[in-house]
Structure formats: structure tokens, C-alpha cells
Amino acid sequence: MGDDATPIELTAPEFSFGQLVWSDYLASMVEREESAERLALLFLPRMLLNPSLQLALTIRICQCGPRALWNLMRWIQIVFFSSEFHRFAPEDNTELGPGLSFPHPANIFISGGVKIGSGVTIYNNVTIGSNRHVPRDVATPVTVRIGDRAVVYGYCSLQGPYDIGNDAVVGMHVLLDSDVPPGALRTYKGLRRAEEWKGEGRNHYRPGVEPRVLGHR
């Protein structure tokens, strides 16, 4: 983390497995502005047909389930999504908050040791993790921290001890080499701070917000 960076606090409440899966579902549906009843009615059909929800489900199984399932989930992630995020061992020190969204769930690699807050959106062809090889018997070094409601667009490489602040956006084709302050936009051309751009204006998942009002700012 750079000397001028603003520290971020990640929102990672003690959700159960079911609550985490439901939060990911709400995050994926947040723009639809549907009632709680309709969201609940369509949960299972969408889970069966929506690859974004399925990738998130394999990650939550690794996060909350027994270690014996990790290799199976890793196989599913690689074969069906060309993606990989399965390491939640204590020595990895991985943290993952609720409301994770993968709009285009393909070619996404996230290593152990990352820390991701709530309501984070990650697009396709993204690598997040350490900037060096880590042997199996060595503790995972400090890696990327992604704050609440941040968005990471496609074809990015976020590797190293960098902070992406709350509500920040990393645009396409960025090879990250510094922190991104809260609310800022980092593109391959440079950094625009929160006061220098109008923001995306998208809705975000927020823990504790009732489903029927999730779609409203």
C-alpha cells in the first residue's frame, strides 16, 4: 500500500453459506428492481441456468465447505468457466465478503490471500493475487485488497500489495502498479480521483438492505 493511500475497511459480516449464496444472487439481480417475492420464486431456475451464479456458488462452497471439496470445485471452475478461486485455508488468510458478482464468468483467476469486501463486481479475463510465485509451504504474502462496491473490468491484472478503495473502479486493460483511492477511476491512461469524474451510477448490493429496495439508490 502506498504512502498516500487511504486505508479501507472491508465489510465481511459473519454470513452463513446460505446467506452468502443469497447475497450473490441479490448482487446479480440488483439492477432488475424486482420484488422480494419474485426474487425468491425465480432463485432456483436462475441458479440452474445462470453461469454467473454457478461460478459464485463454487467459490462459496470452497469458502464455507470442507477442504475435501476444494479440488472438485477447482475442477468445475477450470473446466466450465476457465476460472479458479478455491483457496480458503487459514494460512492463506483469504477474506471474501457478501454480494460477489461475475457479469461475465470466464477466465477469472483469484489467488489465496486476497481480501474482497461486499458488493464487488469482477468482469472477465481478470487476474487478482500475488505478484510472485508462492511455494506451498510458505504463507501467502500480502496481496490485493478490494473495497466495498468496487468494480474491476475485464482484461486487468491486479497483482501485488495494492488497495482498491471502496466504490473505486478499475477500467479495462489495466496492469495495476499502485493503489486506487476510494471512489476513483483507474484506467490504462491514468488515475481520476473521485472528484474528477461523475462515477458509474450503477446500483450495488449492500448488506442488510431489503431485497424489494435493492434496485433503488
What sign results for the dihedral spanned by CA atoms 172, 170, 46, 62?
A: positive
Q: What is the pLDDT of residue 216?
A: 31
Residue 151 resides in a domain: yes
Containing structural domain, residue 55: 17-202
Position 213 in a domain: no
- pLDDT over 70, % of the chain: 85
pLDDT at residue number 208: 74
Q: What CA dihedral angle connects 185, 198, 12 and 140, to 10 degrees?
A: 0
Which of 9-23, 60-74, 117-131, 169-183 is predicted least confidently? 9-23
Look at residue 163 and give its three-state secondary structure.
Answer: strand
Residue 3 confidence (pLDDT) above 50 = no
* Cβ-count burial 55-89 (b if 16+ within 10 Å, e if not): bbbbbbbbbbeeeeebeebbebbeeebebbbbbbe
Radius of gyration of the chain measured on its C-alpha atoms: 17
* pLDDT beyond 50 at 27: yes
The total domain count for the chain is: 1
**Identity of residue 177:** D
12 is written with which cell numbers? 465481511
Distance CA 118, CA 13 (A): 9
Q: In this model, does residue 171 exceed pLDDT 50?
A: yes
Lowest model confidence (mean pLDDT) among 48-52, 136-140, 182-186: 136-140
Decide: helix, strand or coil at residue 160.
coil
What sign does the CA torsion over 63, 208, 9, 123 have?
Answer: positive
Q: Is residue 165 part of a domain?
A: yes
Q: pLDDT-based confidence at 135, cuts 50/70/90? A: low
Residue with cell 473502479: 169
Report the Cα–Cα distance between both ends of the chain, in Å, rounded. 31
d(CA 173, CA 101): 19
To the nearest whole number, what is the mean pLDDT of the chain? 88
- pLDDT tens digits for range 88-126: 988 788 899 999 999 999 999 999 889 999 999 999 999
Q: Please check whether residue 190 lies inside any domain of the structure.
A: yes
pLDDT at residue number 6: 45
On whether residue 5 sits in a domain, the answer given is no
pLDDT at 9 (0 to 100): 58
Parallel/antiparallel/unpaired status of strands 169-170 and 163-164:
unpaired
Within a domain: 111: yes
Residue 64 falls within a domain, yes or no? yes
Per mean pLDDT, which range of 18-22, 29-33, 140-144, 159-163 is the poorest?
Answer: 140-144
CATH number at residue 74: 2.160.10.10
- H/E stretch holding 82: none
pLDDT band at 34 (very low <50, low <70, confident <90, very high): confident
- Asked if residue 160 belongs to a domain, the reply is yes
Tell me which residue of 116, 104, 106 sits closest to 11, measured CA to CA: 116
Report the pLDDT value the prediction gives residue 139, as an integer from 0 to 100: 59
